[in-house]
Structure 1
Amino acid sequence: MNSLREANTRTNAERLEIARNALVSARIDALMCRLPENVLMLSGHWPLCGDAVLVFPAEGNMVCIVPETQVEEVSAEIWDAQILAYAHGRHDSPDQEREIERCLIDLANKNSWKTIGYEGTFEGIAAPGNVAEPRVPSKRFEQLLKSATSKATFIDAQELLDLLRKTKTAWEIEKIRLANEIANIGFEVFFEMVDAGRSAIELAAAVEQAIMVKGTGYKKARRVRAFAQVAVGKDETLAGWRPFEVTTNRKLQKGELAILELAVVADGYWADRTRVRVAGSASPELQRLSDIVKQAQDAAISAIYPGVCASKIDKQARGIISKNGLENEFVHITGHGVGFRYHEGYPILAPGSSQALLPNAIVTVEPGVYLPDFGGIRIEDDIVVTSEGPEILAPFSRQLS
């Protein structure tokens, strides 16, 4: 093992210990994972094309099965693991599924696993490095796993994996912080470029280009992608409460709003941020609305601490907005988990949510208001839950103009 991998393995001893203890408690001898976020969490490798298969045992070193064309990149990222490579990608290469099965049969013959956990009921997934073509562990892949390890009993490990992803280690928090710092590169461009005559697609393209050009190599980040969604004008930003923006070629007019919904992934770790900007100077009413949203975000963030009920945080943001007579204009939740995916299911900051925030969870806080006469205003940042109080990852200006 090279010195970098040794250092990474030592740094991630916390994650490895947590995962192995969870397997022992669940009486699972090994996990077999293919989803990029689970492979990343357990091994440090962000799959390039989604075809890495990670075997993570309760005892002993993990094994990562990958095409031989990916060995160089996998070796640069993965922690203490054996890499099993198979021929793939050439015109005369063997069938990929059969090669994966061959590797799994070899591993099963060398071990005495009785119970194996697999990704049985995941629906949403995080993208691999090649975001254009993610791979989903299907029923066919499940059958391949069971065929290769026929002596073992298989159980769905979704709940266990979800539990592991609820909190982040110190290493993971720093990686997510890095993604947030790179997101700020995009905010800088957005703030500079929002002006009358700029189109939404022009703004989105400039943000993505800056993040990928300047973010790649930033603090040793190897693989960086950005997903900028921009809505401009009253009608488009009014619909900005949806979990997506439709980026058009509409051009900003003086005094109009532009919302940037921004996802950034750096080496597999995600940031989810939003800023809004006005073309030219903000009117007094737009400035008032922006100030209300900022106050709501501040109130929600200040309520974040270990053990707090998620609905209480939502209540803080919603209370500020309601006090200003805008309760019907805040139509979405206050926040959600983030880190191994763009949107994670824990925690959810919403009315009625009974989830308690765990130490070292990461959550977005993103209140907003949407009025037909003005459009939509939303501000979003990623927050770490700590015993010392909430920590905003990579703060950035919230000024409207």
Structure 2
Amino acid sequence: MPRIGKIFDFLEKEHLDCVVIKDVNTIRYLTGFRGDSSILYADDRRAVLVTDGRYLYQARAEAKCCHIVEYAENIWHTVAELAQDAKTVGFDGDYFTYNDFNTLQELLCGKELKVIDLKYIRMVKDKRELELMWRAVKIADEAYLRLLDELQPGMTEKTLAGRLEYYMRSLGAEKLAFETIVASGERSALPHGIASDKEVEIGDFITFDFGAVYDGYHSDMTRTVVLGMANSWHKEIYTIVEEAQWRGLKNAKPGITGAELDAVVRDYITSRGYGENYVHGLGHGIGLEIHEMPNINKRGQNVILQPGMTFTVEPGIYIPGKGGVRIEDTVVLTDEGAKVLTGVKKQLMEIV
């Protein structure tokens, strides 16, 4: 009930008569309903979940804060009937197809349609959300440690990714947070180097970027190891990224913006001569989606970080033709600063 109240507050703040919400993650957040192919309608008197026969009993069990309406043939006709007395209708346009919009506009002829952005209402996590994220993080931690026990030369990146994914599933993940990244040797310079048929070799940096989903909530972590003994170049690059990540964690405090936090780390990496090799933002919000608000990058000027926000801190250096390093943790912001949820150590590991 406290979450569904956020949409009523939103209506008042935005001077809307009603909203029509299609995004499955926002619907799940507000109501508890885990299905899809449904619409959440809300005005100042009621919240109505419009769904079909496949989800009727599930909706009644999960969305206890809503009236449940089953539509027969066309979901938009039912939505239009609910909104017949409204003058101004908000809709989350990022999740509407062109045909969705045209249909709604035609059925609500004469009413003002206004695109709304609901991605900010999920930024601050409650206690239950943080518990679920912690579980997702611990699953990924344990899966990674199991994989390291098996890691040896000659294994392919695809084999390593498959084993990691198997362990996350066997430890309770409902699904993967995203397609697992395993990139070794020269390929470790690819920030999104999806696992290939390349065999890992002595002297390779190997970057693992992966996450688990537990009860809808995501984890995300990256670790980079050296197969064999690290040389001076491995140690130099790794030490710079490790220090950069530490600075990001240290400076993540309530009151700073994501852009300001990004700049702290970016300026440090640039001062060490690798600014051109740091090609992405410092991090991203995480929760019901792998990428959500707040932005922890140059675009994050408009959101001031607050306690309860969850995001990643993941600087990296990537040198084409040679290799790269990224270190990433999932964190929750507290009154005192960033609390790291990820448990696996970050010191340079040599797998021998």
TM-score, normalised relative to structure 1: 0.77
Out of 157, 160, 179, the residue aligned to residue 200 of structure 1 is 157
| Distance (Å, rounded) in 1 between the aligned partners of 2:334 and 2:343 | 16
What's 1:53 paired with?
A: 39
State whether residues 195 and 280 of structure 1, in contact with CA within 8 Å, keep that contact through their aligned partners in structure 2. Answer: no
What's 1:312 paired with?
A: 260
Unmatched segments (≥5 aa) in structure 2:
none
What's 2:69 paired with?
A: 84
Out of 89, 97, 106, the residue aligned to residue 116 of structure 1 is 89
Taking a change above 3 Å as real, the CA distance of residues 275 and 76 of structure 1, as seen in their structure-2 partners, is farther
Out of 128, 134, 145, the residue aligned to residue 104 of structure 2 is 145
SS of match in other structure, 1:251: coil
In the TM superposition, residue 215 of structure 1 has moved relative to its aligned partner by 1.8
State whether residues 257 and 300 of structure 2, in contact with CA within 8 Å, keep that contact through their aligned partners in structure 1. Answer: no
Taking a change above 3 Å as real, the CA distance of residues 105 and 352 of structure 1, as seen in their structure-2 partners, is closer
What's 1:386 paired with?
A: 334
Taking a change above 3 Å as real, the CA distance of residues 178 and 78 of structure 1, as seen in their structure-2 partners, is farther
Out of 86, 90, 99, the residue aligned to residue 74 of structure 2 is 99
In the TM superposition, residue 331 of structure 1 has moved relative to its aligned partner by 2.6
Q: Once the two structures are superposed, what CA deviation does each residue of 1:355-392 show, in whole Å capped at 9, x if it has no partner? A: 53233322211011123574111011122222222122
| Distance (Å, rounded) in 1 between the aligned partners of 2:112 and 2:320 | 57
What's 1:246 paired with?
A: 194
1:365 and 2:313 matched: yes
> What RMSD in Å do the two structures reach over aligned CA positions?
2.8
What's 1:5 paired with?
A: none
Q: Once the two structures are superposed, what CA deviation does each residue of 1:177-235 show, in whole Å capped at 9, x if it has no partner? A: 3332333243234433332111111111122222223224xxxxxx4334343333322
The percent identity for this pair of structures is: 25
Letter of the structure 2 residue corresponding to residue 104 of structure 1: V
Letter of the structure 1 residue corresponding to residue 43 of structure 2: P
Taking a change above 3 Å as real, the CA distance of residues 70 and 35 of structure 1, as seen in their structure-2 partners, is same
Alignment of 1:151-166 (within 5 A): 152-158=111-117, 161-166=118-123
What's 1:63 paired with?
A: 48
State whether residues 286 and 311 of structure 2, in contact with CA within 8 Å, keep that contact through their aligned partners in structure 1. Answer: yes
| Distance (Å, rounded) in 2 between the aligned partners of 1:185 and 1:114 | 53
SS of match in other structure, 1:302: helix
Unmatched segments (≥5 aa) in structure 1:
1-8, 88-97, 123-135, 217-222
1:286 and 2:234 matched: yes
In the TM superposition, residue 150 of structure 1 has moved relative to its aligned partner by 4.8
Taking a change above 3 Å as real, the CA distance of residues 207 and 139 of structure 1, as seen in their structure-2 partners, is same
SS of match in other structure, 1:193: coil
SS of match in other structure, 2:220: strand
State whether residues 299 and 316 of structure 1, in contact with CA within 8 Å, keep that contact through their aligned partners in structure 2. Answer: yes
Taking a change above 3 Å as real, the CA distance of residues 288 and 46 of structure 1, as seen in their structure-2 partners, is farther
State whether residues 303 and 312 of structure 1, in contact with CA within 8 Å, keep that contact through their aligned partners in structure 2. Answer: no
SS of match in other structure, 2:288: coil
Taking a change above 3 Å as real, the CA distance of residues 210 and 79 of structure 1, as seen in their structure-2 partners, is farther
Taking a change above 3 Å as real, the CA distance of residues 169 and 18 of structure 1, as seen in their structure-2 partners, is farther
Taking a change above 3 Å as real, the CA distance of residues 311 and 33 of structure 1, as seen in their structure-2 partners, is closer
Out of 166, 187, 198, the residue aligned to residue 209 of structure 1 is 166
In the TM superposition, residue 117 of structure 1 has moved relative to its aligned partner by 0.9
TM-score, normalised relative to structure 2: 0.87
Q: Once the two structures are superposed, what CA deviation does each residue of 1:328-374 show, in whole Å capped at 9, x if it has no partner? A: 33232212222232223532333994653233322211011123574
What's 2:220 paired with?
A: 272
Taking a change above 3 Å as real, the CA distance of residues 72 and 274 of structure 1, as seen in their structure-2 partners, is farther
Letter of the structure 1 residue corresponding to residue 205 of structure 2: L
Taking a change above 3 Å as real, the CA distance of residues 157 and 193 of structure 1, as seen in their structure-2 partners, is same
In the TM superposition, residue 72 of structure 1 has moved relative to its aligned partner by 4.4
State whether residues 229 and 245 of structure 1, in contact with CA within 8 Å, keep that contact through their aligned partners in structure 2. Answer: no
State whether residues 180 and 208 of structure 2, in contact with CA within 8 Å, keep that contact through their aligned partners in structure 1. Answer: yes
| Distance (Å, rounded) in 1 between the aligned partners of 2:167 and 2:61 | 25
